[in-house]
Amino acid sequence: MKTSLKSVAKSNLDPSDETVEVISITHWTDSLFSFQLKRPKSFRFKSGEFVLIGLRDTTETLILRAYSIASPSWDDALLFYSISVKDGPLTSILSKINPGDRVILKRKPTGTLVLDALRRGKRLFLFATGTGIAPFASIIRDPMIYENFDHIILTHTCRMKRDLAFGELILELRKKDLLLRDLNIKKLKYFPTLTREKFVNTGRITALISSGHFFRDAGIGDFSYDTDKAMVCGSMEFNKEMASILKGKGMKEGSISSPGDFVLERAFVG
């Protein structure tokens, strides 16, 4: 007998599973959704980190995947943004959760897209494709970036206009954040670009950087390893291409143990 999602989410959990309650779920497109989980009081993380989330499937097998936390580290709820893959073992189930269901949340957040992995600089570039916007949704609501950088440039490459909606909502929410009230959040420049629909910016960000259109259209100067720091989150191929572009400008990859000029993380996919 096929088990329904409700019973997957509620009864297929092992008593030792660390579960939390689903507060809400929003479907942005046929394949993109976000969900909010109740944040356990003891759960702490740095903006930009990811955590393991999961469920047990109908055979009681535990399925866990890394998810960037898309809410800021000061928020009461934990927000996540996901693509739903038709036969994806986790996302096909997760995309059907409802408020009140429970999912597994592992309590050890980690990740490389954190400010501690970057040296000091003047401009912070955040390069995302698709659901790679998730860690930056957290970071752009963190007061630290406005305190530490003079300019922040967030780029988001998506296929269609509707794929930008989640990021645009976060940019709006940011305007109401009390913790950002006394900071100059206008120093963040948003540069969305679409690859499969006509738009104000069209084409992959990598191509726009190489052609120089990005700097011209965003009204900013070319990269300088002295002043610029960058975070990159997208597909493996995107990350590789961005790393090569940034290294070509003399920038060095960083980590928490050895801070540098840029950091990379693969966006969650399946």
**Site of interaction with ligand A2P (CB under 6 A):** 129-130, 157-159, 195-196, 204-206, 235, 237-238, 241
Which residue, 189 or 204, is less far from ligand A2P as judged by CB?
Answer: 204
- Yes or no: say if 49 and 137 are a contact pair by the CB < 8 Å rule: no
Nearest approach in angstroms of CB 267 to ligand A2P is 8
Nearest approach in angstroms of CB 128 to ligand A2P is 9
Nearest approach in angstroms of CB 136 to ligand A2P is 14
Nearest approach in angstroms of CB 156 to ligand A2P is 9
Nearest approach in angstroms of CB 135 to ligand A2P is 15
Which residue, 199 or 225, is less far from ligand A2P as judged by CB?
Answer: 199
Nearest approach in angstroms of CB 238 to ligand A2P is 4
Which residue, 55 or 242, is less far from ligand A2P as judged by CB?
Answer: 242
Within a 10 A sphere around the Cβ of 152, how many other Cβ atoms?
Answer: 20
Within a 10 A sphere around the Cβ of 50, how many other Cβ atoms?
Answer: 25
Which residue, 26 or 235, is less far from ligand A2P as judged by CB?
Answer: 235
Which residue, 60 or 237, is less far from ligand A2P as judged by CB?
Answer: 237
Which residue, 13 or 246, is less far from ligand A2P as judged by CB?
Answer: 246
CA 270 from chain center: how many Å? 15
